[in-house]
Amino acid sequence: DSEAELRGNRKIAAPYRGAVVLVNFDTDQRKPWFIKALRADGQPLMFGYEVNDIHGHNIGVVGQGSQLFIRTNEVPPSVNVAIDKQQGLSCTITFGKEIDESRNYICQ
């Protein structure tokens, strides 16, 4: 599956000479979404902001160019972007029944 993401990239194994070792890695099978979003004032979201679902679980991060990268099993009704965790500031992006990755969403 091309949407799978490895959750690690190293394992310790001690193979015998000439042996082939089967190594299992944990993967994240949730669907990846790339979402363009801006703040309500039109400014970009800062790189590294955490993105949480409606239950407060971390599902992604804001990447370069104010683009959110999230992984979910289903389209979330909305996501919260933690703008300032110390002050408890966040903004919310609301989706319809599907996410349009070509659209610019507003984080309010």
CATH code at position 93: 2.60.40.2070
Q: Does 77 map to a domain?
A: yes
Please indicate, yes or no, if residue 58 is contained in any of the structural domains: yes
Q: How far is 62 from 52, CA to CA, in rounded Å?
A: 11
pTM of the model: 0.77
Give dist(CA 26, CA 108) in Å, integer: 35
pLDDT, residue 1, reads 53
- Looking at residue 81, what is its pLDDT? 97
CA separation for the pair 1, 7 (Å, rounded)? 15
- State the pLDDT at residue 60: 95
10-residue mean pLDDT series, the chain (108 residues): 77 87 87 94 95 94 96 93 88 92 94
Within a domain: residue 70?
A: yes
Residue 11 lies in a domain: no
d(CA 107, CA 97): 17
Query: What is the per-residue pLDDT for 105?
Result: 96
Look at residue 85 and tell me if it is in a domain: yes
Q: Which residues of 69-84 are buried (b: 16+ CB within 10 A; e: fewer)?
A: ebebeeebeebbbbbe
Residue 80 in any domain: the answer is: yes
Domain residues for 61?
31-106
Counted domains in the chain: 1
